[in-house]
Chains A and B, each alone.
Chain A
Amino acid sequence: MASLAQQIGGLRCPSLSTHLSRKPSYTNNINHTVKRTQTTKAAAVVSNAQTRERMKLKEMFEEAYERCRTAPYEGVAFTVDDFHNAIERFDYNSELGSKVRGTVFNVDANGAYVDITAKSSAFLPVREACIHGIKHVQEAGIVPGMRDEYVIIGENEHDDSLILSLRQIQYDLAWERCRQLQAEDVVLKGKVVGANKGGVVAIVEGLRGFIPFSQISSNSSAEELLEQEIPLKFVEVDEEQSRLILSNRKARADSQAQLGIGSVVTGIVQSLKPYGAFIDIGGVNGLLHVSQISHDRVSDIATVLQPGDTLKVMVLSHDRERGRVSLSTKKLEPTPGDMIRNPKLVFEKAEEMAMTFRQRIAQAEAMARADMLRFSPESELSLNSEGILGPLGSDLPPDGLDLNETSLPEDSS
């Protein structure tokens, strides 16, 4: 047996030596005989049942291969034409910036592997998985088996895999949400993460927004505001220029909507300026102009008010658009000049004065409306029982108006 093998080996030797120096020819026959001689040589060395089995198996394989080559379409369920027609349908695009759907099949420390039905698998680095900074893709909720849309941002030259990103899509969504929220004028909470020369930076919907100092209405400085959540409203949302400006003052102003005009509130003096003082009432800063402090002329504000003083002020007007409130203590003085001389008296009498003030305002308004009616009776407006102008004849009580019971307007001084 061994000698026979050696003989065969010997016979084939010449072709073996020429194998190395032969010209490259693509006939498979030579390859196969070369392979078989190699195995025959191996068989010559270790000729036992195992190698014989292997030889038989190898022969089977080669027969199968021959069959494949000679009858290439036998037993195949579809034809070449079907294949060509179907190529169009299953095309894939790998341009930068195009969106693809894929399934995550493996998660690694550096990112996630995504299977998009294309030439090769794609990779989603951990930095591109989410807008916020995360260390592992699992924190963003990416687990194997998840199906999602990604955008292609690059191609890995080495192994032809694509690099994906979720960030772009998330950014687009975040900007869209901000625009909608701005249209609806909603108040959100944002966390302050940094400060710079002009204001602070807060994160809202995953995007970084800027709040100028002028728009912050709380007392604390920038350092104290760090890592805190404050209510914010949108001032400007511009995606092309990447500008997102927020305002705390506007948000607070809205929440203070119940501040009616003419109401008296307690406030603490925040800061003094040459033209007046800023008083913090319930979170919103209102301006108490120097002319509104007292009837008498106030030469130096520092003599009357000091930062940290508590005092009662009356709300003159409330500009919700810009979040500004105008205050006054002049109206609250029982006698003019009290503010300077005796602030405590003003403090106590504040409520009374405010009520008187309100009544006076109401009377003045009623007179003004009555005048208007007199001058233009043909417009179908009349005063109903609350003194509000409205259409004729709607407000009378059903059983007739009893003239004795109408209230007479008070005398105005």
Chain B
Amino acid sequence: MTRRYWNINLEEMMEAGVHFGHGTRKWNPKMAPYISAKRKGIHITNLTRTARFLSEACDLVFDAASRGKQFLIVGTKNKEADSVAWAAIRARCHYVNKKWLGGMLTNWSTTETRLHKFRDLRTEQKTGGLNRLPKRDAAMLKRQLSHLQIYLGGIKYMTGLPDIVIIVDQHEEYTALQECITLGIPTICLIDTNCDPDLADISIPANDDAISSIRLILNKLVIAICEGRSGYIRNP
């Protein structure tokens, strides 16, 4: 496995507020090794460990991308929805930024049926098939289409289970994480001081509330994916 230099520097991370944790009362004692201090009733995560984990995660992701693996980014809080979508589109991976439907991965066959329906509806809309129907039917189909677009819009090109899943907030996406564990899919997760670091495979202790910190970490991973992909495209 190659070890590359990802530009992870202290200034950037501190400016984005990556080192802030949650309130002191809400911590998970398993996070003790990653917490370095306590200020003003808030835990401060140790950024050296964060940087270490982040660089490891970037290496792994780079390797996987250079072998042509599929990624899935999950982040459903409405504050982060936009950043998740933007990052995923930039890295050309799948994403889920609205509610994670239960069984999306474990019940993949049903999800696949829905995706087929989504694809058919889209082709029909593009070819103008909806105009030939009576108005009520056309309205119903349009509603279904918008519904599917909202929930499955990010995974419309997915053909099978993803190889690596990146989850933005472990507290929120607990169901997604459990699904990945049952299926044995490796996960990279952003951990805050109130989460469990043992659940995911690689857990990056960081701040999951501030939008700038999420953006920073996603940026690094996305850069790694892009670089790996470009290597893959050049010599598959």
Contact = CB atoms under 8 A, between A and B. Distances in A.
Nearest to A32: B198
Interface string B161-202: 101100000000000000001111110000000000010011
Interface in B66-88: 69, 79, 82
A120 B210 contact: yes
Nearest to A31: B198
B212 A117 contact: yes
Given A61-B201, A64-B57, A118-B20, 16 more contacts: A42-B184, A57-B69, A57-B164, A60-B1, A68-B52, A72-B49, A77-B8, A80-B36, A80-B46, A84-B37, A87-B37, A89-B14, A117-B16, A117-B17, A119-B207, A120-B209
Contacts of A79: 48
Interface in B98-141: none
Given A60-B60, A115-B210, A118-B210, A76 B52 contact: yes
B209 A35 contact: no
Interface of A: 26, 28, 31, 35, 38-39, 42-43, 50-51, 53-55, 57-58, 60-62, 64-65, 67-68, 72-80, 82-84, 86-87, 89-92, 105-106, 113, 115, 117-121, 159-161
Looking at B9, B30, B55, which has the most chain A CB atoms within 10 Å of its CB? B55
Nearest to A91: B39
Contacts, number: 143
Interface in B21-52: 21-23, 30, 36-37, 39, 42, 44, 46-49, 51-52
B36 A105 contact: no
Nearest to A62: B201
A78 B46 CA distance: 12
B20 A54 contact: no
Contacts of A92: 17, 20
Given A67-B56, A76-B51, A160-B23, A54 B8 contact: no
A160 B82 CA distance: 20
Contacts of A50: 160-161
A54 B185 contact: yes
Nearest to B9: A77
A79 B51 CA distance: 10
Contacts of B16: 117
28 contacts: A38-B182, A54-B163, A54-B186, A58-B201, A61-B60, A61-B186, A64-B60, A68-B52, A68-B56, A72-B48, A72-B49, A73-B48, A75-B52, A76-B8, A76-B52, A77-B8, A78-B47, A78-B48, A80-B36, A83-B36, A92-B17, A92-B20, A105-B211, A115-B211, A119-B17, A119-B209, A121-B79, A121-B209
